[in-house]
Amino acid sequence: MTNLHAALGGTGAIARFARAPGPDGRRGGATDVYLDHAATTPMLPEALDAMIEELARTGNPSSLHNAGRRARRVVEESRELIAEVFGARPSEVIFTSGGTEADNLAVKGLYWARQGRRGGPRRPRVLATATEHHAVLDSARWLGDHEGAQVEWLGVDHEGRLDAGVLRAAIERDPSAVALVSVMWANNEVGTIQPVGELAQVAGEHEIPFHSDAVQAAGQVPVGLAASGATALTISAHKLGGPVGVGALLIARGEDPVPVLHGGGQERDVRSGTLDAAAIRGFAVAAELAEQRRAEQAVRLARLRDRLIDRVRKAVPGAILNGPDPSAPAAAGQRLPGNAHFSFPGCEGDALLMLLDARGIACSTGSACTAGIAQPSHVLIAMGADAARARGSLRFTLGHSSTQADVDALAAVIGEVVERARRAGR
């Protein structure tokens, strides 16, 4: 053992991690103020414990022996729990590696399933809002580029909402040619909540499958498969206090998406791959706790979020809140409780992010997937913002570990940071 470690020396993974100064590369540094829960939120301690306990055990849920049966039981109990939380039957839960895979399976799988292989009609139309997450956006685009789909982007209003009338008009141009409709439950950038029930009903009138990416909504607002009338919902564990790397597609019984991953035939042949019992258990524990605490948490986060909006507006009078304004009575229930998203005219978002990061405050210029090279947000563009306003934007998202001290820490520096970023210009 000693020899092995010596042999690994400075090049081994253990030594390398040991040398790293900290999880974020910061040397020493102040306690971080984490305002990026929409990117990922800390695991709930109960979920972490449950997952670690399961990680220490052996057993492939597909194996027939005792170890396999034990792991299978963990998976099935977790499936039942998740089904209950999201108003679905256990058989309607398909575990995936996360939100992206579930979105790919829904969009591509439902599209293919609707192409009438045995002489049935071809349905080339795919309808989705222009503000979808890239997992839906790019899956639909891919179908357009490679499978002959006609993708139609549904317009949203200046707050990011899709009007049911817009969807109805789009469908009715040629209802029988529509393969599926995909509209996210809540937007990952600006937090706008779509009228999913109303939209699902419109699609349902024409018996068109309706998928909704509910990754940001799950655990924040009531999300139910049966109650919403949706055909399929995407859920991700790490946005509600579970581990990264696991999620689910909830899909109504009777719908048979064509698989994207082929192999051992797990998950009713819809999604092959060894089931990750530990992650699934962590997912289930987190989902159950998030649901139990949801109502209370939503009130607390909305209050914190309103304080954040108020303090930022006072510190930066020119700041523009993107998405529904929670202080407007008409906007009640139209925005995720933990989301605040601003444009700071005259600033570049990545300069603001860097200056806040240097002060120990973590936020985002958009979805983490596009972080790196700044591109104007397609969400804000679809909402009618110009490229400059889209580039000068920041998202602050709160979650279960957020406190008033976090909000006040941001409020204390945002004025000076915006001032500096403005001087740095464009």
Partner 1 sequence: MSALRVLAAMSGGVDSAVAAARAADAGHEVTAVHLALAPRPASRRTGARGCCTLEDARDARRAADVIGIPFYVWDLAERFDAEVVQDFVAEYARGNTPNPCLRCNERIKFAAVLDRALALGFDAVCTGHHARLEPGGPGRVRLARSADRAKDQSYVLAVLTGRQLSHAIFPLGGSTKAQVRAEAARRGLAVAAKPDSHDVCFIPDGDTRGFLRARLGAAPGPVVDPGGRVIGSHEGSYGFTIGQRRGLGLAAPAADGRPRYVLDIEPATRTVQVGPAEALEVRQISAVRPVWSGCDPPTGPLEADVQLRAHGETYPATCWPADGGAALRIGLRRPARGVARGQAVVIYDGDLVLGSAVITATAR
User: Given the rule CB under 8 A, which residues bind partner 1?
Assistant: 10, 16, 19-22, 24-27, 350-351, 353-355, 357-358, 372-374, 420-421, 423-425
CA 279 → CA 14, 49, 324, distances in Å? 23, 11, 35
Based on CB atoms, which residue is closest to partner 1, 331 or 374? 374
Residues involved in catalysis: 369
Residue 85 buriedness (CB in 10 A; 0-12 / 13-18 / 19+): buried
Cα(327)–Cα(303) distance, rounded to whole angstroms?
11
Based on CB atoms, which residue is closest to partner 1, 55 or 371? 371
> Min. distance of Cβ 86 from partner 1 in angstroms?
37
> Min. distance of Cβ 327 from partner 1 in angstroms?
32
> Min. distance of Cβ 83 from partner 1 in angstroms?
40
> Min. distance of Cβ 373 from partner 1 in angstroms?
5
Based on CB atoms, which residue is closest to partner 1, 82 or 394? 394
- Say whether 340 sits in a helix, a strand or coil: strand
- Say whether 267 sits in a helix, a strand or coil: coil
DSSP 105: I
Based on CB atoms, which residue is closest to partner 1, 6 or 373? 373
Q: Are 397 and 406 in contact (CB under 8 A)?
A: no
Cα(335)–Cα(328) distance, rounded to whole angstroms?
11
**Residue 68 has which token pair?**
């396999």
> Min. distance of Cβ 158 from partner 1 in angstroms?
27
Based on CB atoms, which residue is closest to partner 1, 84 or 350? 350
- Say whether 101 sits in a helix, a strand or coil: helix
Please report where in the chains the tokens 């791959």 appear, as a residue: 273
**Residue 367 has which token pair?**
């979805």
Please report where in the chains the tokens 């081994």 appear, as a residue: 12
Cα(306)–Cα(298) distance, rounded to whole angstroms?
12
Short-list 111, 152, 132, 239, CA closest to 194: 132
Based on CB atoms, which residue is closest to partner 1, 16 or 314? 16
Please report where in the chains the tokens 């222009």 appear, as a residue: 130
In sequence order, the β-bridge partners of residue 128 are: 153, 182
> Min. distance of Cβ 38 from partner 1 in angstroms?
20
